[in-house]
Amino acid sequence: WADSDGDGYGDNYENTSWDTYRPSTWPGLLLSAANEPDVFPLDRTQHMDSDGDWVGDNAQSDRADACPNEWGDSQFDRLGCPDTDSDGYSNPSANWPSTTDCFGADAFPDDPTQWCDEDNDGFGSNPDGNQPDDCPNNAGTSTVDRRGCVDRDGDGYSNAGDPFPDDPTQWSDRDGDNRGDNASGNNPDVFPDDTSQWKDSDGDGYGDNPGGNNGDAFPSDPTQWSDEDSDGYGDNTDGTRGDVCPLEYGESQEPLSRGCPDSDLDGVTDPLDAFPDDPFQWEDSDGDGYGDNTKVPNGDDCVDVFGKSFEEGRQGCPDADLDGYADVDDVFPDDFEQWSDFDGDGYGDNYYWENITEADTDNVGMFITLRQQRGDAFPEIASQWSDMDGDGWGDNQNSSNRVDNFPLRATQWNDFDGDGFGDNAVSGAYQPDACPKEPGTSTANDEFGCPDSDSDGVADAADPCPWDPDVSQGSRSTAVCSITSDPNAKSDDDGGGLSFLSGDTGTLQLMGGVIIFLLALIVVAQFARAAGKRKAMAAKRDDQLAQASLAEEEERRQAWIQHYLAEGNYAEARALGWEGTEGLPEWKQYEMQQQAAQEAAIPTMMDLEKL
């Protein structure tokens, strides 16, 4: 009953499948009894759709199905025809082909991104689609650099991108030298990234153009390419006619000196000349750096024996300690610090020392500075060689020349009265003798070496009771002295004026004997003390001299070890006690390591006790 578009076909319909595609806004109802329904109730030009693609069959309509009997969803070039790739353009047919104006069928029915080929070269015109045509209006076959552009030589590269558009074997020229980069093509560039080179006739990797980069000075010789000195001989010494002196122009053709000069013009080319810059020397038989020609001043004095001596006018002779003096001239051939001994005392004339600090055993808490010496401190005095305190007086007490009575005190050396106190009384001198010509043992009040009859440390001149050891302070006018005179002095026998002489003679004799005995003990003790002090000082001096000698010997041994190690002479260093493994063969090092490991594995008594 309803016909919204007035075309004589009703709006109602009986096909339930139409509900899937029919818009809900269209008029009409689903009725099983409906007949002659209008498939398009709002389009008076269409009412029927034979193939069910919802495009009307009426060819007179603006929206007519171009393929009324074949389902299709194309919509751009024509409506209702098959569109395999669903891009809106119909598949081409016999009566509807693709066209270059893009109004025909799909030129690429299986590619949803392309549909038109304006130049008909097989590449789509859609620049955003698959394999777009870079030259859409100009048919071409290029595929590598650009698609669909003219490729005259058919090598896949477009003419515009091909430096060799008429040569199918070449298409690239990175360095722009007009030689193709394809090594298998025509006229290939062996050096595609070097504008100055393109050919390598001998295949040695160096270009034939001698003025270019890495140019080959010998383009036909694969073993030579460089000639730095331009003498015509190649710098590769292992190649054909190699230059033995590649950096020096030379004309020698001898195999051992080919291309070498004779710098000193002595007739011997430099490679064969042991002294190429010395016209007076050319051979060195023993290889010690001194020439065999002994007729000139710089000749080798020991032609057939290797040596490094150069002092005393003797060159090239053995010099074991390398001090420059030949062993035959060296008084100390194994000591590189010494070579002469003017006074013949066995100590070298070169004197070296380092100051060391030691505790002063005579003054607790104090220290003294002594010398650790090497060589002879008195190279012209045969009886002296050591000066531990550095005062210029020798330590050898048996000498008659410049003997230092105080070898450990730098400010004392003479002791005229022999009491153990030095005669030097200048400010700062150690314990200067206040009575240098009179022996004594006084030490109190910084008054050393004066007579001290009672041995109390105070000099008699300052002692109020010089014979009484129990009184050492006060004045003589007030001090009470138990002993007022020398107990050893003889007494008178006349008895005149002495009341105590009126007594028993035997008693007086006994008292006198006791006093004499006591005074004798005091005198003996005084001299024993001085002698003991001198003996202790001598023993200490001897001990320090011995220690200094040992230290000097150890330092000399270590110096020689370092000397041999620097030379790489490990055998000599090892002979002096060095325990390193350098220079030993690997098997020997391994053997030593294994032995050490075995010794370390042996249990000690402590280990056994723990068990």
Query: Tokens for 610?
Result: 């723990």
Asked if residue 579 has pLDDT above 90, the reply is no
Instruction: Tell me how far apart the alpha carbons of residues 599 and 603 are, in angstroms, rounded to a whole number.
Output: 9
Listing DSSP states for 512-550 in one string gives HHHHHHHHHHHHHHHHHHHHHHHHHHHHHHHHHHHHHHH
Predicted confidence (pLDDT) per residue in 347-374, tens digit: 999 999 999 999 999 999 999 999 999 9
* Residue 219, CA distances (Å) to 41, 68, 179, 215 in order: 92, 80, 19, 9
Q: Which of 264-268, 278-282, 560-564, 581-585 has the highest mean pLDDT?
A: 278-282
**pLDDT value at position 490?**
62
Instruction: Tell me how far apart the alpha carbons of residues 481 and 469 are, in angstroms, rounded to a whole number.
Output: 9
Q: Do residues 359 and 349 touch, judged by C-beta distance below 8 A? A: no
> In sequence order, what are the residues at sequence separation of 6 or more whose Cβ sits closer than 8 angstroms to the Cβ of residue 10?
1, 2, 3, 28, 34, 35, 36, 37, 38
Strand (E) or helix (H) holding 551: helix 505-567
Query: Tokens for 461?
Result: 């001149």
A 10 A CB-CB count for 246 gives: 19
> Quick one: 366 exposed, middle or buried, by C-beta within 10 A (0-12, 13-18, 19+)?
exposed
Q: For a pLDDT cut of 90, what percent of the chain falls above it?
A: 65
A 10 A CB-CB count for 94 gives: 5
Q: Is 511 helix (H, G, I), strand (E, B) or coil?
A: helix
Query: Tokens for 204?
Result: 């040695």
Instruction: Tell me how far apart the alpha carbons of residues 572 and 595 are, in angstroms, rounded to a whole number.
Output: 23
Q: Is 373 helix (H, G, I), strand (E, B) or coil?
A: strand
> In sequence order, what are the residues at sequence separation of 6 or more whose Cβ sits closer than 8 angstroms to the Cβ of residue 431?
412, 421, 422, 443, 448, 449
Predicted confidence (pLDDT) per residue in 125-174, tens digit: 999 999 999 999 999 999 999 999 999 999 999 999 999 999 999 999 99
**pLDDT value at position 190?**
95
* Residue 535, CA distances (Å) to 85, 184, 545, 588 in order: 126, 106, 15, 54
Instruction: Tell me how far apart the alpha carbons of residues 256 and 244 are, in angstroms, rounded to a whole number.
Output: 7
**pLDDT value at position 581?**
72
Predicted confidence (pLDDT) per residue in 51-93, tens digit: 989 999 999 999 999 999 999 999 999 999 999 999 999 999 9
Predicted confidence (pLDDT) per residue in 469-520, tens digit: 999 898 888 889 988 888 877 655 444 443 333 344 555 567 666 667 776 6
Q: Is 234 helix (H, G, I), strand (E, B) or coil?
A: strand
Query: Which residues on neighbouring strands pair with residue 352, listed in sequence order?
Result: 374
Amino acid at 192: P
Instruction: Tell me how far apart the alpha carbons of residues 110 and 86 are, in angstroms, rounded to a whole number.
Output: 9
Question: Contacts by 41-44 with C-beta closer than 8 Å and gap 24+?
Answer: 41/3, 41/4, 41/5, 41/9, 41/11, 42/4, 42/5, 43/5, 43/7, 44/5, 44/6, 44/7
Predicted confidence (pLDDT) per residue in 292-348, tens digit: 999 999 999 999 999 999 999 999 999 999 999 999 999 999 999 999 999 999 999
Q: Do residues 219 and 208 touch, judged by C-beta distance below 8 A? A: yes
Of 253, 263, 308, 264, which Cα lies nearest the Cα of 284?
Answer: 308
Instruction: Tell me how far apart the alpha carbons of residues 99 and 94 are, in angstroms, rounded to a whole number.
Output: 13
| Mean pLDDT confidence for 579-595 | 65
Instruction: Tell me how far apart the alpha carbons of residues 269 and 16 are, in angstroms, rounded to a whole number.
Output: 115
**pLDDT value at position 532?**
59
Q: Do residues 85 and 92 touch, judged by C-beta distance below 8 A? A: no
**pLDDT value at position 509?**
63
**DSSP state letter for 491:** P
**pLDDT value at position 555?**
78
Query: Tokens for 231?
Result: 């003498």
Round the average pLDDT of the chain to a whole number and report it: 88
Question: Contacts by 311-317 with C-beta closer than 8 Å and gap 24+?
Answer: 311/339, 315/290, 316/286, 316/288, 316/289, 316/290
The DSSP bridge pattern shows strands 352-359 and 367-374 to be antiparallel
Amino acid at 45: T
**pLDDT value at position 590?**
56
- Which has the higher per-residue pLDDT, 529 or 324? 324
| Mean pLDDT confidence for 1-17 | 82
Predicted confidence (pLDDT) per residue in 86-135, tens digit: 999 999 999 999 999 999 999 999 999 999 999 999 999 999 999 999 99
